[in-house]
Structure formats: structure tokens, C-alpha cells
Amino acid sequence: YQDDDDEDKKLHNSNTSDWFTERSVLWPGQAQSLQVEQVLFHQKSQFQDILVFQSKTYGKVLVLDGVIQVTERDEFAYQEMIVHLPMFSHHGPEQVLVIGGGDGGVVREVLKHKSVRQVVLCEIDSMVVQVCKTYLPQLSASLDDPRVKIEYLDGAEYLRNHPNTFDVIITDSSDPVGPADVLFQRPFYQSLHAALKPDGICACQAESMWLHMDLIRSLMETCRSIFASVAYAYTMIPSYPGGQIGFAICSKSVRDCLTKPLREPNAVTTQSLKYYCPEIHEAAFVLPLFAKRELEKE
């Protein structure tokens, strides 16, 4: 996506009275608002504007550059699906890399898998991690686990220096504007492929089929030209624009099927899952016809 400067100026986000309104050039002509009870943190880091507020009905909310990243009420719908779709499609992931994800929610889900020995979190912005440690402990407590190593680097740069290292890589990125733009470019997917072991799998945040079909189509084309097997899946989440967000799931080896879990649900340690189950794993890849046609177009 190219930022249109004029549009951007017109569409700046507003914090009028006690409502937060999320506007962006990425979803023109629409906006979602959440009622604010208290602003808990608001500061600019070296990379982005960071806001945390207590909302009336969605718990605490993390906002980066005016865009909602996490709400306590529905975060599990995103974290569980972006993690357990690739993790259950691998026969026994031990080394896992999370790119972005400084809130710790994705790492929390990865650590539920008994096979995991090490998780590297590569987050560009240390302030996101510090702020989430203070305000979102249900997500960030995972980052204190001894199996977790944090690297404060650009994910694209980190990947280039770690070929053939990981069983699973999860890109939990913000939208393709600002620091995350690089995470949606072809060289990044080539580096992802190189950083995976021969039977490795990756999952990348891949936007909304209601809003970003052109981006998704081009992303899937790029992935298909690099990986042996590629599929698009999605989850429902009310706090993201369009109420839905998708994932590109890509495997380095040829798979008959990425759409069925390879392992039993007891591969995870706790009963703490609230969204993911084997049935929803398969269902997540079944696309509505309009999206299926777009993604199958030559």
C-alpha cells in the first residue's frame, strides 16, 4: 500500500471526548469506535505512536499509530488461530520464531505446545514490549518464560542472518504502513523460506478479505511462487476492521494438505483454548465464494 499524504491528513484518528475512533487509508469510508473509560498510556516511540486505554466493553486496548492491535476481549481469536494453524500442521515444532508480536499473545500460544524448546521474539520496538508488560500481563507474562529469547530488531534483517533455523515462523505484524511495510514485500517471503528448516511452516498476518482483496491476491501469488504449499485461512474478530482477518499459511515442503491438523489436540498442555479446535482448523480454510474466486483467478 502507498500512503496517500492528502488522504492521510484528512483521515487522522480522533480521540474526541470519551470515544476512540479508528480511521485509516487502509479502510476508507468506514471507522470503528470504542468507548474510552481511561487513557492509561500514550507516547511516541522511535517507531510509532503507542496508546493503551481502558475501554468500556473490550477491556484494555493496545493501539499503534491509531490502529487497534489487541483488545482483551477478543485477542484470543487472533492469537490462537495464527499460532495453532501452523503449529498443528507441523509434526513436532521445537524452534519457533515470532516476528512482531511484542504484546506476547502469540508467544503465549506457542508455549502451550509441549514440543517447543525455544521461541525467539523479534520485535522492532522495545517500548511495545515494556508497555504490554505493564498493562497487558495476560499476554506479556509469556515473555518471562525461560524458553523465550527477545531480539529487538527489524524482522526482515533478523531473518536474513538465520537460514535453515526454524520449524515454524509466525509473522504477527501490524498493517503494511510504517515499520511493518517491509514485512509484506517479496524479499521478506524469500527470507522466510530460507530461514525455515526443510519441513518448516510459516503463518503471516494477511489482512481482511472484505477490505484488502488486492493485497491478499498479490501476497498469495508471491507466496505460491516461493513456497511448495500455500493456503489462506481466516478468523472472526470484532475489533479488527471488517470483523475478520486472514493468514497466509505456507509450507516449504509439498503437503497433501495444510488444512487438517497433523497432531492430536493433546499436543498442547492446557485446557486454555477458547477458539481453536480441530473442526475450526479445517473450517478456517473454507472461503466464501467471492474470496475463493478472487484467489483462484489467473
Q: Which CB sits closer to ligand SAM, 79 or 259?
A: 79
Under the criterion CB under 6 A, does residue 183 sit at the interface with ligand SAM? yes
49, 172, 199, 214: which one is catalytic? 172
Sign of CA dihedral 212, 213, 214, 216: positive
Under the criterion CB under 6 A, does residue 216 sit at the interface with ligand SAM? no
3-state DSSP call for residue 167? strand
Under the criterion CB under 6 A, does residue 142 sit at the interface with ligand SAM? no
**What's the farthest any 2 CA atoms get from each other in the chain?**
54
Under the criterion CB under 6 A, does residue 139 sit at the interface with ligand SAM? no
3-state DSSP call for residue 50? strand
Please state the length of the chain. 298
Q: Closest distance between ligand SAM and the C-beta of residue 207, in Å?
A: 9
Give the CB-nearest residue to ligand SAM.
Answer: 100
Residues that contact ligand SAM, how many (by CB under 6 A) = 26
Under the criterion CB under 6 A, does residue 99 sit at the interface with ligand SAM? yes
Task: Count CB atoms within 10 A of the CB of residue 206.
Answer: 24
Question: C-alpha dihedral over 62, 32, 291, 106, to 10 degrees?
Answer: 10
What is the C-alpha to C-alpha distance for residues 184 and 44, in angstroms, rounded to an integer?
A: 24
φ, ψ at 93 (rounded to 5°): -65, 130
Under the criterion CB under 6 A, does residue 155 sit at the interface with ligand SAM? yes
Under the criterion CB under 6 A, does residue 74 sit at the interface with ligand SAM? no
Under the criterion CB under 6 A, does residue 102 sit at the interface with ligand SAM? yes
Given 3-state DSSP classes, what are the helix, strand and coil percentages for the chain, each rounded to the nearest 5? 35, 30, 40
Among 103, 120, 197, 204, binds ligand SAM (CB under 6 A): 103
Under the criterion CB under 6 A, does residue 109 sit at the interface with ligand SAM? no
Return the active site residues.
172
Binding stretches for ligand SAM (CB under 6 A) = 47, 64, 69-70, 78, 99-103, 122-125, 128, 154-156, 172-174, 179-180, 182-183, 205
